[in-house]
Amino acid sequence: MSADYRNYIDGEWVESESDETIEVRNPADTTEVVGTYQRSTEADTERAIEAANDAAEGWAKTPGPERGRILRETAGILESRKEELVETLVREEGKTRSEAGEVGRSIDLFYYYAEKARDIGGPNKQSSGEKTELSVRKEPLGVAGLITPWNYPSAIPAWKIAPALATGNTVALKPASAAPGPARQLVEALDEAGVPDGVVNLVTGPGSEVGNTISSHPAVDVVSFTGSSAVGERVYETASGDQKRVQCEMGGKNPTIVMPSADLDQATEIVAGGAFGVTGQACTACSRAIVHEDVSEQFLDQIVAHAESIEIGPGLEDPDMGPHISESELDGTLEYIDIANGEGATLETGGGRPEGSTYENGYFVEPTVFSDVDPEDRIAQEEVFGPVLSVIEVGGFEEALEVANGVEYGLSSSIVTQDLDEAHRFVDETESGVAKVNDKTTGVELHVPFGGYKRSSTNTYREQGDAGIDFYTAEKTVYLNY
């Protein structure tokens, strides 16, 4: 039996004024309704923003260690409920239990920023004059409007909420309608930890009403968005119009280069993990394997065999790969497979929906590998957001780097090589915000900056680590003469 969930505004769980709800179904078995959430309106969102605005001054004045105490208590509550959080994520988003390890990342983020809250501040500098103290303060911006996606429905809200609160900002959060449960659970833990009324607010509903209100409302001071490039560019245009601070992290078309010196067993594992993990539904997923001609035939044989060995099934059973989150995402992947076939690429494996009673009520798709892909083909240029890998053969390192950089995105990239010169040149010349050597394109650490180049990002501020602190604070330079 599914549960009915409400918005969280000014410390209370409340229904939308629309009296309408959104059903969230299990993508592995669409006959199961996991929960119903509020289909909120512009007026609901405005109430949440006003509550955050009313609470902003008090929260900003709350000492950093006290803010950190609440974040630490929140992390402890989340940790005690980890299995419940994992199950919610799997049932709403479709990830496997192993992939739902992002819940652990959420817990770590709250612990991390709980400690950072103790020492938020700026440097003292030596003045050029006598009897003058010169220092820099970091101060909160005010109300943070956060718009988060469905593909990491726990970790991404956590890496936006935690630094925003640690630095003294209040929050109005809109999670993705496809999987809002993990964000709701974060807010429940914050509420239980004693976060003051109005400091955190959660509103579920369509982006056209809730998201647009957050990005355009004059009381919102800073906006952070993660999602598609098309939507992110609209958010940026709307939010920056009245000089809000804005950060948008968006799409990717991430390559892994495989060179002749690579251990091909390792290269296969790296590419497969990046391409087929989380059903390819990651902005950092590897969708292009750019392989040197000397090893391309052997690599292709190995990656096809790996794809064909992947166990597909409902995430609760913890197979190798779960379903797409929705029918529209599944249709989008199947459409790109048709496009690739029409462009003349060779379908090596996959390309359709798996057969059998296990799959008939879910949004399942086979891991898919194409060879003979031209770097200018749509399948090699556009974000697919599914478990579809294009293998592109190249004649050397220079060509590999040119192909890797020859797209409008620049989020993550990697190379598999034992040649130190190639590794260093790759790091120097790859046009991406994340560069990895002998590692998959997916997966990032929480204490270092994360973000992309080109159309993958607004190229304003980064997320996570100290960069998260910088984004949610303004610097005030203080001259104290005595």
Distance, CA of 446 to CA of 469 (rounded, Å): 12
The count of other CB atoms within 10 Å of the CB of residue 218 is 9
Query: Would you state the structure tokens that stand for residue 311, as one six-digit string?
Result: 């166990």
Q: Order of strands across the sheet with 222-226?
A: 12-14, 7-9, 200-202, 170-174, 143-147, 222-226, 245-249
Sequence-distant (≥ 6) Cβ neighbours of residue 303 within 8 angstroms: 268, 271, 272, 289, 369, 389, 391
Rounded to an integer, what is the distance from CA 171 to the centroid of its chain? 18
Q: Judge whether 151 and 282 are in contact, CB under 8 Å.
A: yes
CA distance 335 to 41: 33
Of 381, 364, 384, 380, the closest CA to residue 372 belongs to 380
The neighbour count for residue 469, using CB atoms within 10 Å, is 19
10 Å CB burial of residue 131 (0-12, 13-18, 19+) is exposed
431 contacts 409 by C-beta, under 8 angstroms: no
Q: Strands 409-410, 412-416: parallel, antiparallel or unpaired by DSSP?
A: unpaired
Closest CA to 308 of 282, 261, 276: 276
Q: Report strand pairing: 222-226 vs 286-292.
A: unpaired
Whether 283 is catalytic is yes
Q: Which of 100, 283, 290, 291 is catalytic?
A: 283
Q: Which residues are catalytic?
A: 283
